[in-house]
Chain A
Amino acid sequence: MTVSVSLTVNGEAVSADVEPRTLLVQMLREELGLTGTHVGCDTSQCGACVVHVDGESVKACTLLAVQAEGADVKTIEGVADGDTLHPMQQAFHENHGLQCGFCTPGMIMSALDLVKNNPDPSEREIREWLEGNLCRCTGYHNIVKSIDAGARAMRG
Chain B
Amino acid sequence: MTEQGIGAAVARREDRRFVTGQGHYTDDINRRGQTYACFVRSPHAHATLNGVDTAAAGAMPGVRAIFVGEDMAEVGPLICGWAITDVNGEPFRAPPHPALAIGKVNYAGEAVAVVIADTLEQAKDAAAAVEVDYGLLDAVVDPAQATAGGQPQIHEAAPGNLSFEWALGDKAAVDAVFDGAAHVTSLEFANNRLVPNAMEPRACVAEYDAGSGEHTLHIASQNPHVHRLVMSAFHGLAPEHKLRVVAPDVGGGFGSKIFIYAEEVVLTWAASRVRRPIKWTAERSESFLTDAHGRDHVTTAELALDSDGKFLAMRVDTTANMGAYLSTFASAVPTYLYATLLAGQYTTGGIYCNVKAVFTNTVPVDAYRGAGRPEAAYVVERLVEAAAAETGRDPADLRKTNFVPTDAFPYETPVIMQYDCGDFAGSMDQALDLAGYGGFQARKAESKAGGRLRGIGFSSYIEACGVAPSAAAGSLGAGVGLWESANIRFNPTGNVQLFTGCHSHGQGHETAYAQIVADKLGVPYEQVEVIHGDSSKIPFGMGTYGSRSAAVGGSAIVKAADKVIEKGRKIAAHTLEASEDDIEFAGGNFTVKGTDKAMNIAEVAFTAYVPHNYPEGLEPGLDETAFYDPLNFSFPAGTHICEVEVDPETGSVSIERYAAVDDFGVLINPLIVEGQVHGGIGQGVGQAMLEHAVYDGAGQLVSGSYMDYTMPRADDVPSYDVGFNGVPSPLNPLGVKGCGEAGAIAAPAAVMNAVHDALRDVGVGHIEMPATPLRVWQAIQDAAA
Chain A contacts to B: CB under 8 angstroms: 19, 21, 29, 34-43, 45-46, 48, 75-77, 79-80, 85, 89, 92-94, 96, 98-105, 108, 123-124, 126-128, 130-131, 133-144
Contacts and interface: CB of A to CB of B under 8 A. Distances in A.
A34 to B, nearest CB: 7
Contacts of A80: 20
Contacts of B200: 38, 40, 100, 102
B713 interface: yes
B369 to A, nearest CB: 10
Contacts of B685: 139
Nearest to A44: B706
Contacts of A48: 199
Interface string B249-261: 1111010000000
B19 A92 contact: yes
B715 A131 contact: yes
B609 interface: no
B199 A46 contact: yes
B252 A136 contact: yes
For chain B, the bracket of interface size reads: 35 or more
Across chains A and B, which 7 residue pairs bring their CB atoms closest together, nearest first?
A36-B21, A139-B682, A101-B18, A102-B251, A100-B506, A45-B706, A99-B506
A104 B19 CA distance: 6
B199 A19 contact: no
B675 A42 contact: no
B682 A140 contact: yes
A142 B15 CA distance: 14
Contacts of B20: 36, 76-77, 79-80, 85, 89
B88 interface: no
Contacts of A144: 714, 719
A29 B707 CA distance: 25
B705 A103 contact: no
Contacts of B675: 96, 99, 137-138, 141-142
B11 A96 contact: yes
B682 A85 contact: no
Nearest to A75: B21
B127 to A, nearest CB: 15
Nearest to B21: A36
Interface stretch (B22-30, B464-472, B593-601): B22-30
B19 A85 contact: yes
Interface string B696-721: 00000000011100011111010110
Contact of A101 (B506, B671, B678): B506
Given A40-B199, A93-B11, 16 more contacts: A19-B121, A38-B25, A40-B201, A40-B284, A43-B705, A43-B706, A76-B21, A85-B19, A99-B508, A101-B18, A102-B198, A126-B714, A130-B714, A134-B199, A136-B711, A139-B683
A150 B695 CA distance: 42
A79 B201 CA distance: 25
Contact of B11 (A94, A108, A135): A94
Nearest to A48: B199
A80 B21 CA distance: 10
A128 B715 contact: yes
Given A34-B21, A43-B706, A93 B16 contact: yes
Given A40-B201, A42-B283, A131-B715, A100 B251 contact: yes
B16 A136 contact: no
B23 A36 contact: yes
A80 B201 CA distance: 27
Interface string B148-187: 0000000000000000000000000000000000000000
B532 to A, nearest CB: 14
B681 interface: yes
Contacts of B22: 36, 77
A100 B252 contact: yes
Interface in B328-364: none
Nearest to B251: A102
A9 to B, nearest CB: 12
A128 to B, nearest CB: 5
Most buried by B among A39, A40, A134, A138: A40
B507 interface: yes
B21 A105 contact: yes
Nearest to A139: B682
**Central interface residue in A43, A89, A99, by most chain B CB within 10 Å:** A99
Between B22, B201, B506, B714, the greatest number of chain A beta carbons within 10 A of the residue's beta carbon is seen for B714
A33 to B, nearest CB: 9
Contacts of A46: 199, 284, 706
With most chain B CB atoms within 10 A of its CB, the pick from A46, A101, A128 is A101
A16 to B, nearest CB: 15
B713 A139 contact: no
Contacts of A108: 19
Contact of A133 (B23, B283, B714): B714
Contacts of B19: 76, 85, 89, 92-93, 98, 101, 104-105, 108
B197 interface: yes
B16 to A, nearest CB: 7
Contacts of B284: 40-43, 46
A142 B14 contact: no
Contacts of A76: 19-21
Nearest to B718: A141
Interface string B500-517: 000001111000000000
A99 B715 contact: no
Contacts of B508: 99
A45 B707 contact: yes
A124 B309 CA distance: 43
Nearest to A34: B21
6 contacts: A37-B21, A99-B679, A127-B715, A134-B711, A139-B678, A140-B712
Contacts of B674: 96, 142
Contact of A136 (B197, B707, B720, B743): B197
Interface in B3-37: 11-12, 14-25, 27-28
Nearest to B15: A93
